């Protein structure tokens, strides 16, 4: 194991994984979405409540299960965006989150790290009509058997 | 065609990259004149694939271990090379398929089944390869759409004055055409057809299997909506091809194959699709082959498509001039400056299969048959033709040996 490898599970990641911030359902909420990462089978559901101005993210929580990277990244994301404007978060550059996470990620693990951000943007899209990230486009054309 | 000295290629030098030319029969290598069917493979591609299989191989997009990361990087790197090769806006719009044929079937099924119906018109041409003809014929029949064709003139060029009449038959929804005819080498006016298709509210589907190895492709300049081509016709391995499609169309389409990789989540009640391009890539792909495809694109690009086009043009001119001197030969297709490196012909009173058989005695490899273009054969009034086709490793001596071989055929048959 190299030093680089060890950094992937640096303390802050494991801390967020074991003690996720903003974890659990948020009732009532104004926006929510769920998403999956087919790589690890990670699942994340995000709930958002807006402030009186209808734009500020007053409260945010998530539920989910999956790898440490996906869950810790989503946990860190909830801390990052709380108190910020929905319109701003909807176009939050992924690098801003990746910097916060601050660990080396291979292309495959990037998908884990960015799952929560994608799901949050889907929630904002559904609630506020903000743009969808490109990897989530076309998601409504799925197969429903009910 | 502007042939600058800088655009020249040295076929003799390039032949050193192809081991097949080291194999001699009676002191001579094969005169391989069947590149339109499939090309020979340079060592670069074979060595790179072997290296990849030996040191970077694992399944893609799943494993988090280094080998899997490397395999995925190689596979996705090839996708980016395909994107650059056809000047597509995004590599998300590039789907790896089994072949150009499968790419065209993907469009016919995944787009056609949901977008065609009675009153609609599907337009193909009289010189389509069966791969861009039969899928549309089938889907048109299945959906109740009309199946119309653009006829060709005696030189094998599209008669665009037929378009108005075709438009009067209903709502034109799709126009499917090859950029280069695999049988005649005709370079088709795809830009004009794409503009016409869009005026009609139709999509333009381009079969570039025969064009991509021989001339520069720019999907944005062509103005098409889908473009298919394959690896094996441009020095790459068989078993892999590519489809480029406009993102908004790909996003609106249902998947073509179902299984692993193409899903985001699956339950007993509901399944959701993965993002582009994976939505259309069910199952383990041809991983090393896709990687080899990318290496082949590098090889061909390094030789230079302008140089390849100019080189083939010289060989076509040499061939057409020489065949014109032989009694009983009838050549098909447009003049040399309006075709790529393909010459199709018949020799009076000798079936093409017999021509090809006798040429093989001289180790001259040509294709004889209908070239998967039976409607075109019907239009030309022949059952089959003999086809000589060139690539970057073809040399003038190949043409000389073809001509000598044809004299041998005439001698044998007494014609």
Listing DSSP states for B314-328 in one string gives HHHHHHHHHHHTSTT
**Pairwise CA distance, residues A65 & A42, whole Å:** 6
- Phi, psi (deg, nearest 5) at residue B304: 105, 120
Give the nearest chain A residue to B68 (CA atoms): A108
Reported as a single tens digit per residue, the pLDDT across B183-208 is 999 999 999 999 999 999 999 999 99
Give the nearest chain A residue to B248 (CA atoms): A138
For residues A104 and B149, the model is more confident at B149
The gap between the terminal CA atoms of chain A, to the nearest Å, is: 48
Q: How deeply is B227 buried, as exposed, middle or buried, from its count of CB atoms within 10 A (0-12, 13-18, 19+)?
A: buried
Interchain proximity B271–A142, CB inside 8 Å: yes
Distances (CA, A) of B27 to B24, B140, B405: 5, 53, 16
Q: Is B265 helix (H, G, I), strand (E, B) or coil?
A: strand
Q: How far is A58 from chain B (nearest CA, A)?
A: 30
Cβ under 8 Å to A: B residues 49-78:
61-64, 68-69, 72-73, 76
Q: Which of the 8 DSSP states describes residue B109?
A: I
For residue B140, is it left (φ>0), alpha (ψ between -120 and 50) or beta?
A: alpha
Residue B270, chain A, CB below 8 Å: the answer is yes
Reported as a single tens digit per residue, the pLDDT across B345-382 is 999 999 999 999 999 999 999 999 999 999 999 999 99
Q: How far is A42 from chain B (nearest CA, A)?
A: 10
A38-47, B59-68, B122-131, B299-308: least confidently modelled range: A38-47
Taking 90 as the threshold, does the pLDDT of residue B93 lie above it?
A: yes
Q: How far is B62 from chain A (nearest CA, A)?
A: 6
Contacts of A35 in chain B (CB under 8 A): 264
With cut-offs at 50, 70 and 90, classify the pLDDT of residue B51: very high
Contacts of A108 in chain B (CB under 8 A): 61-64, 68-69, 72
Interchain proximity B270–A39, CB inside 8 Å: no
Residue B279, chain A, CB below 8 Å: the answer is yes
**Pairwise CA distance, residues A64 & A80, whole Å:** 18
What local confidence, expressed as pLDDT, does residue B3 receive?
44
ipTM: 0.75
Selected for mutation to probe chain A from B262, B273, B281 (highest A CB count within 10 Å) is B273
Catalytic annotation, residues of B: 372
What is the pLDDT of chain B when averaged over all its residues? Answer: 95
**Quick check: bond before B305 cis, omega within 30?**
no
- Nearest by CB to B251, which of A39, A107, A137? A137
Contacts of B254 in chain A (CB under 8 A): 141
Selected for mutation to probe chain A from B275, B277, B279, B282 (highest A CB count within 10 Å) is B275
What is the pLDDT of chain A when averaged over all its residues? Answer: 88
Degrees to nearest 5, angle at CA B277 with B276 and B280 = 105
**Pairwise CA distance, residues B229 & B206, whole Å:** 9
Selected for mutation to probe chain B from A9, A33, A108, A146 (highest B CB count within 10 Å) is A108
Q: How much of chain B exceeds pLDDT 70, in percent?
A: 99
Q: Compute the average pLDDT of residues B120-131.
A: 97
Residue B284, chain A, CB below 8 Å: the answer is no
Q: Looking at the DSSP assignment, which residues form a beta bridge with residue B122? A: B147, B174
Beta pairing class for B263-266 and B146-150: unpaired
What local confidence, expressed as pLDDT, does residue A134 receive?
76
CB atoms within 10 A of CB B369: 18
Taking 50 as the threshold, does the pLDDT of residue A81 lie above it?
A: yes
With cut-offs at 50, 70 and 90, classify the pLDDT of residue A143: low
**Pairwise CA distance, residues B95 & B68, whole Å:** 20
Q: Which of B91, B18, B3 is nearest to B398 (CA)?
A: B18
Q: Is the dihedral of CA B81, B85, B91, B92 positive or negative?
A: negative
Q: Compute the average pLDDT of residues B34-54.
A: 98
Residue B4, chain A, CB below 8 Å: the answer is no
What local confidence, expressed as pLDDT, does residue B2 receive?
46
Residue B191, chain A, CB below 8 Å: the answer is no
Beta pairing class for B31-32 and B364-365: parallel
Give the nearest chain B residue to A135 (CA atoms): B275
Interchain proximity A138–B251, CB inside 8 Å: yes
Taking 80 as the threshold, does the pLDDT of residue A6 lie above it?
A: no
B161 Cβ partners below 8 Å, 6+ apart? Answer: none
Helix axis angle for A107-128 and B66-85, nearest 10°, is 60
Ranges of beta strands (E only) in A17-138 are: 31-37, 42-50, 57-65
What local confidence, expressed as pLDDT, does residue A141 receive?
53
| Residue B62 CA from chain centroid, whole number | 31
Distances (CA, A) of A85 to A50, B226, B250: 9, 40, 32
What local confidence, expressed as pLDDT, does residue B261 receive?
84
What local confidence, expressed as pLDDT, does residue B262 receive?
87
Interchain proximity B272–A146, CB inside 8 Å: no
> Taking an 8 Å Cβ-Cβ cutoff, which residues of chain A contact chain B?
35-36, 38-39, 43, 106-109, 134-139, 141-146
What local confidence, expressed as pLDDT, does residue B1 receive?
45
What is the number of CB-based contacts under 8 A between chain A and chain B? Answer: 66
Q: pTM for this one?
A: 0.90
For residue A120, is it left (φ>0), alpha (ψ between -120 and 50) or beta?
A: alpha
With cut-offs at 50, 70 and 90, classify the pLDDT of residue A1: low
Interchain proximity A142–B73, CB inside 8 Å: no
Give the nearest chain A residue to B261 (CA atoms): A38
Q: Is A90 helix (H, G, I), strand (E, B) or coil?
A: coil
């Amino acid at each position: 194991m190299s030093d680089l490898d060890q950094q992937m599970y640096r303390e802050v990641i494991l801390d967020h994984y074991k003690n996720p911030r903003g974890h659990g359902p948020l009732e009532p909420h104004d926006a929510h979405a769920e998403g999956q990462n087919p790589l690890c089978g990670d699942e994340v559901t995000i709930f958002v409540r807006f402030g009186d101005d209808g734009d500020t993210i007053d409260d945010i929580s998530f539920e989910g299960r999956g790898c440490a990277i996906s869950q810790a990244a989503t946990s860190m994301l909830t801390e990052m965006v709380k108190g910020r404007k929905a319109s701003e978060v909807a176009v939050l550059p992924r690098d801003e989150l990746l910097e916060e996470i601050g660990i080396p990620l291979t292309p495959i693990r990037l998908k884990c790290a960015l799952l929560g951000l994608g799901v949050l943007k889907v929630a904002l899209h559904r609630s506020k009509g903000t743009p969808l990230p490109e990897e989530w486009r076309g998601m409504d054309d799925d197969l429903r058997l009910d | 065609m502007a042939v600058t000295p800088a655009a020249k290629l040295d076929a003799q030098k390039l032949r050193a990259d192809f081991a097949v030319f080291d194999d001699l029969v009676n002191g001579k290598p094969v005169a391989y004149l069947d590149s339109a069917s499939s090309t020979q493979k340079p060592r670069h591609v074979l060595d790179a694939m072997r290296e990849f299989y030996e040191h970077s191989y694992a399944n893609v997009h799943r494993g988090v271990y280094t080998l899997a990361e490397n395999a995925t990087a190689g596979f996705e790197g090839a996708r980016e090379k395909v994107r650059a090769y056809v000047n597509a806006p995004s590599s998300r719009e590039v789907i790896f398929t089994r072949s150009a044929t499968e790419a065209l079937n993907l469009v016919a099924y995944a787009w056609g089944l949901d977008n065609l119906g009675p009153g609609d018109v599907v337009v193909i041409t009289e010189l389509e390869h069966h791969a861009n003809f039969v899928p549309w014929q089938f889907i048109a029949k299945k959906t109740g759409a009309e199946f119309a064709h653009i006829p060709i003139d005696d030189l094998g060029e599209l008669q665009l004055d037929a378009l108005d009449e075709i438009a009067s038959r209903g709502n034109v929804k799709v126009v499917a055409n090859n950029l280069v005819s695999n049988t005649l080498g005709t370079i088709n006016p795809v830009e004009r057809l794409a503009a016409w298709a869009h005026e009609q509210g139709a999509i333009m589907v381009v079969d570039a299997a025969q064009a991509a190895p021989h001339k520069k492709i720019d999907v944005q300049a062509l103005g098409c909506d889908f473009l298919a081509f394959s690896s094996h016709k441009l020095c790459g391995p068989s078993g892999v091809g590519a489809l480029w499609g406009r993102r908004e169309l790909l996003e609106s389409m249902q998947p073509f194959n179902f299984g692993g990789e193409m899903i985001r989540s699956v339950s007993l009640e509901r399944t959701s699709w993965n993002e582009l391009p994976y939505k259309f890539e069910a199952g383990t792909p041809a991983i090393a082959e896709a990687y080899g495809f990318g290496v082949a694109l590098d090889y061909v690009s390094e030789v230079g498509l302008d140089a390849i086009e100019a080189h083939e043009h010289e060989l076509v001119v040499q061939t057409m001039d020489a065949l014109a001197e032989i009694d009983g030969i009838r050549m098909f297709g447009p003049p040399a400056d309006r075709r790529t490196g393909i010459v199709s012909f018949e020799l009076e009173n000798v079936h093409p299969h017999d021509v090809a058989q006798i040429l093989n005695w001289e180790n001259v490899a040509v294709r004889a048959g209908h070239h998967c273009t039976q409607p075109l054969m019907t239009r030309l009034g022949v059952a089959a033709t003999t086809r000589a086709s060139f690539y970057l490793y073809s040399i003038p001596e190949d043409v000389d040996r073809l001509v000598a071989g044809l004299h041998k055929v005439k001698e044998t048959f007494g014609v």
